[in-house]
Amino acid sequence: MDIIKNLSPSKKERESVSKVINGFLKKIKPRLKECELLIGGSMGKDSWLAGDHDVDIFVKFPKNYVKKDISKILQDKLKNIKYDVIHGSRDYLQVKQGSYLFEIIPVLDIKKHEEAANITDVSPLHVTWVKANNKDSEQVRLTKAFLKANNLYGAESYKKGFSGYVVELLTIYYNGFMNLVEAASNWKEPVVIDLSKFYKDKKEVVNNLNKDKFSSLILIDPVQPNRNAAASLSQERFKEFINLCKKYLKHPHEEFFIEKKFNVNELKKKYNKDEIILLEAEPLKGKEDVIGSKLLKLFNYVRDKVSSEGWKIKEANWFWNNEVLFYYVIEKKELSKEIIHYGPPKKLIENVNQFRKKWKNCKLLQDNYRVYIKLKRKYTKVNDYVKSLLKDKYLKNLVKSIKIKKV
C-alpha cells in the first residue's frame, strides 16, 4: 500500500530522532548510574508514525528499591533539568525539547508481572514482548493510522478507544492490518483473544477474569493473564470500529488513514443556513487524561445547556491538538420571549395551591390537564446565551480560559 510510505519514518527522520534521543539519554544517564534506561512506547517498539516524536523512557530502579519513593528519587536526581511532574499511580516527569516530548517514567526492574509494586512496573515487559513477537511494524503503523484518522485511537478516559499496546497486540494476533479489518468486520461481542494461551477456552477466560475488567473486547495481556489489555475500550468505540472496518472493506481508500483537520469554512458551507458557535479554550496543565476529561465535561456541559434551553443542535464536536476548539451547529432561530413553566395536574388541589403560592407574582393559567405560568425568557439568541454561559464558575475549574471565536 502506498500509504505506508507516508506513515513510516524516513531514513533521514530516523537518524535525526536517534540523534536527539541519544543526546537526551547522554544528558540524564550519568545522574542515574544505578538504573537501566529503556526506550518504551511506540518509539521503543518501532511502531511510531512519521512526525510523532513522543518518547517514553523507563528508568528501571533495582528491585531492592521497592519500599523507596522512586518517583521522588528520580525528581531529585534530575533536578537540574527543567521538567513537569505528572501525577498518576506513580508520578513521572515530562520534558519538552522542541518538537519532542520526553516522558521519564520510574519503574522497578522486574522480570515477571507478579513482582510489580505498581502497574507501570509491567510496562517494560510489554515492550519486550512486542519486540519479540512483532514481525512487521509497517502493519502496526497501518492499524494505528487507521484508528487515529477516525478518532478511535487512545485509551484515555475521555477517549475510551484503542491503546497503542492494544493496536500492536491485535495486529500481531491477526497477522496484519487487512486480516484484522476482515475479522473485526464480523466481530460479535464479547470478542475474546488470548495470545499467550493462558486459558484453555473462552469459558475459562470469562470464569477467571475479574468482572470489572470485562469489555466488548477481552484481550488477555500476553505478559499478565489476569489483565484485560482492552478493559478501557468502550462499547461505543468497539461498535464504531466494526462499522469502520465494514466501510473500508466496501470502499478501501487512502482517505481512511488521513486525519481530518477541522475546517470552519467547510462547516460554514455545509450549514450555510444555521448558526455556528465556535469556542476556543486554553487547557489547564497536568496529565493528559485528567485535562482531556475536563475538556469533555465542558463540551458536554455547553451542549446540554444549549439543548435544554430549546435550541436544536445539528452537529457538535471538539478537537485538541495544538489548540482546543469546540463547535456547535445550531438551527438558526430566535426563541420565544416567554417560557411555559408547567405545574401539577389541576385535580391535585393542594399541589396547585403550593404552586400558586410559590409563583404568586405570576398569572396562573391552565390547560385541559394541568396549571402553568409564563416566564420571561432571559436570552432569545443563542450567541447571547453562550456568552453568559462562559461566565459560569463551573467552567473555571475545567479550563484556564475560554472565549467565543469569530466564525
Instruction: Please state which architecture CATH assigns to domain 3-120.
Output: 2-Layer Sandwich (3.30)
Which residues 6+ apart lie within 8 Å of 58 measured at CB? Answer: 37, 38, 39, 40, 105, 107, 123, 124, 127
Q: How many residues does the chain have?
A: 407
Pull the grid cell for residue 251: 470502499
Across 6-20, 133-147, 328-342, least confident range: 328-342
Place of cell 506513515: 7
Between 59 and 406, where is the model more confident?
59
Place of cell 489547564: 284
Q: What is the CATH code of the structural domain delimited by 137-257? A: 1.10.1410.30
**Cβ pair 346, 366 in contact under 8 A:** yes
- Residue 1 pLDDT more than 70? no
Enumerate the domain spans of the chain.
3-120, 137-257, 264-334+381-405, 338-376
**Edge-to-edge strands of the sheet including 338-345?**
338-345, 370-376, 365-366
pLDDT value of residue 126: 97
CA 289 to chain centre: 7
pLDDT value of residue 202: 87
Residue 145 pLDDT level (bands cut at 50, 70, 90): very high
According to the CATH classification, is domain 264-334+381-405 in 3.30.70.590? yes
- The residue-averaged pLDDT of 362-389 equals 93
- Say what the pTM is: 0.86
Q: Per-residue pLDDT tens for 203-235? A: 899 888 887 778 999 999 999 999 999 999 999
Rg (CA), the chain: 27
